[in-house]
Amino acid sequence: MLVDSLVRRLSSKHRKPTPVAKLQDPEACEHVEEDEDFENFEEPCREPAYPYRELNGTEIRLLRILPGTGPVECILHQMPLAEARYFYALSYVWGDATQKVTIMVEGQPFHVTENLYEALYQFRQRPDDIGHPKDYFWVDAICINQEDLDEKSRQVPRLMDIYHTGLVVVWLGHVRQLPAANLFKKFIRNTRSSRPRISPDEAVETLFKKTQSMWFDWEPVDDDDDVIIDAEFGDAYNDIIHTIVNILQRPWFERVWTIQEACLDTYPRVYVGPHSVDLKKLIDIWKILAMEHRFLFLCSGSVRMASLNKINQLYKSALFDWDENPKKMNMGEVFATLLRITGKKSSSDPRDQLYGLLGLLKYLKGEDLPEELVPNYRLPYEHVFWNYATFLFESVGDLKLLDCGRNELRNVPSWVPDFRYISHGPDLRREESVHVSSDKRVLHVRGCVLGTFRDVITGCDAKKIWPTARAIPIGLPVRLREFEKRILKPSAAIRKITTEEAFDDLINNVTRIIDAEGVETFYQVFRRLSKSTGGKRPWYAKRRTTNVRLKEEALVDQLSSPFLLLTDGTILGMRREDAEVRSGDIVCLFKGSSELSLVRASGENYTFLGHCAPKSGPLKQQEFDDDFLASRDIQDFGLI
């Protein structure tokens, strides 16, 4: 699916990150000179920490990977964090929890996911000399007793301290030719003029080596700040573009836990197989490449890289007392800011959508967590979401928290956000009039009613009408004709403009990524698809240009959500793709919100249905601020 928003372009090129130190054992590596400042010490004899013993005080568990060529074997020790002089904190994705591999921990079988097994196996080979038999690793799946819910609840707030004490290594997986999503296949094919010049392994190695030496041995821009990076990679440039797309689509860039593991001066080292690069360097080259290839902004990894940049800026604001200093905010304001920065994330446990940010929250704020935010894995995730939403609305009153792409929660009030689908947002907006009832069932807000709507079409499953090279699903032209008849043409008639003008106004945000010109304009593609009967394409129609293919897919992405037509001709698109709109539902604007909302009367109160955004028409350029509300009747809304 297409992503509408773009992250900001590269603003500075002369930034050189601190590289991760490569710790080595002087006795094991004869060619390494012993540091005269190194304090040699005799490590105490430690008893095995598996089977698990209770963690007391500041204790953590650390594992060592034993040398060998057979199945992975480890030993596990337990010690206070202050005594863990050097260790590597592994940042990785668990992967499919149903696919397990057996390793040996203290001579006993221990089941881990395939991705973790690959990481342990790789580091046993000592890439960059990481994985020496005396090296300790901290790995959450092994070093935390995952079966002990109370231990998990106690350890989660400590994770930030653990990752900042250790040296972070990021495992993205082995070098492999991952299949690109359909959208990226088209972009990549458009950049390739010949067959691959180098193998996937050579491409990763070349990318990482060149990236690591960037700004030191070579510069990707000339004196006029023009990007000249393609000249440095030569004939392998297209293979490098394919490789960066491959890397940015890896699951690590979507996982919630990897956010706090990779930011705030942890200086992570990223590994793909045996090849490695500093994460900050990888972010730098991504920014430059994305300036030349805008489609890179669509990769999930691009969203994460932008989030890490923003979090680091928040951290610097605390260090240098800049604006938005988190230490001057209350706990709820910092947490709400983090949620807006990070947006949608993946986690196997829904509760971790929130718990996965607590270590970062505690670190930025410099305070212990209040009782309301202490993790409790014994509570159902719906209740956790409800409790956290109550805390956030009471602390901040930021109504942007209502904005979710979907809401699948049951048996909770309609205003409780489904944090699995929370949207990225602009700067924090505080509203003092927002408060929650004492029984936590009603969210009280103030605002005005704009009225109901003239017509509505419900959303549809984009996957079912997604066009392919071979066929146009029958449901696609049906959907487009319905949209044109009930929404687009009436809007144009009310506004006294042509249907094409109304359509161009609706779709112009997509032209930031996809060129509006070409063999067919967006409107021509829309008309052709809407007139189609669907089914198998004729042979000559399969030879569509990349631009036309992307326009077809963009139309499906843009027009599959629910749409409302207001009496003034404004076309509203629902933010929630699963919103069920009915006749009589009310469009309103809440004080402190920059988004319109759709609600349904329920006795004296209202059910919140979701945010909606003007896509075309008179309200599209309207700023919903205090001036807009000044001349309107303000009333109380109780959302239940």
Domain final residue, candidates 560, 588, 612: 560
Residues 138 and 45 in one domain: yes
Three-class HEC string of 206-232: HHHHHHHHECCCECCECCCCCECHHHH
280 lies in a domain? Answer: yes
Rounded to 5 degrees, what are φ and ψ at 434? -80, 130
500 lies in a domain? Answer: yes
Q: Provide the sign of the torsion angle of the four alpha carbons 121, 125, 129, 131, taken in this order.
A: positive
pLDDT, position 231: 83
566 lies in a domain? Answer: no
Residues 393 and 500 in one domain: no
Rounded to 5 degrees, what are φ and ψ at 521? -75, 170
Calpha distance 87→244 (Å, rounded): 29
pLDDT, position 217: 84
pTM above 0.95, yes or no: no
Distances, alpha carbon 388 to alpha carbons 49, 355, 418, 533, in Å: 35, 10, 11, 49
Residues 544 and 482 in one domain: yes
Residues 448 and 378 in one domain: yes
Strand pairing of 596-602 and 586-590? antiparallel
158 lies in a domain? Answer: yes
Distances, alpha carbon 548 to alpha carbons 467, 515, 516, 551, 619, in Å: 11, 10, 10, 5, 30
Low-confidence ranges of the chain (pLDDT < 50): 1-39, 41, 182-183, 192-193
Summarised one tens digit per residue, pLDDT across range 174-216 is 998 755 554 455 555 555 445 568 899 999 999 999 999 988 8
Instruction: Provide the 10 A C-beta neighbour count for residue 468.
Output: 13
Residues 624 and 520 in one domain: no
303 lies in a domain? Answer: no
564-579: b or e for each residue (b if 16 or more CB lie within 10 Å)? bbbeebbbbbbbbbbb
pLDDT, position 134: 86
**Number of structural domains the chain divides into:** 3
Q: Provide the sign of the torsion angle of the four alpha carbons 262, 263, 264, 267, taken in this order.
A: positive
pLDDT, position 573: 95
Those residues with Cβ within 8 angstroms of residue 38's Cβ, 6 or more apart along the chain or in another chain = 26
pLDDT, position 519: 80
Residues 449 and 497 in one domain: no
Domain final residue, candidates 560, 595, 628: 560
Residues 422 and 465 in one domain: no
Domain final residue, candidates 494, 528, 560: 560
308 lies in a domain? Answer: no
Residues 215 and 241 in one domain: yes
Using the structure block, give the residue that is written with the tokens 């059910």.
607
Residues 481 and 546 in one domain: yes
Domain that holds residue 323: 315-453+576-639
310 lies in a domain? Answer: no
Summarised one tens digit per residue, pLDDT across range 411-430 is 999 999 999 999 877 677 88
Residues 104 and 212 in one domain: yes
343 lies in a domain? Answer: yes
Residues 416 and 465 in one domain: no
Strand pairing of 443-451 and 635-639? antiparallel
Residues 262 and 343 in one domain: no
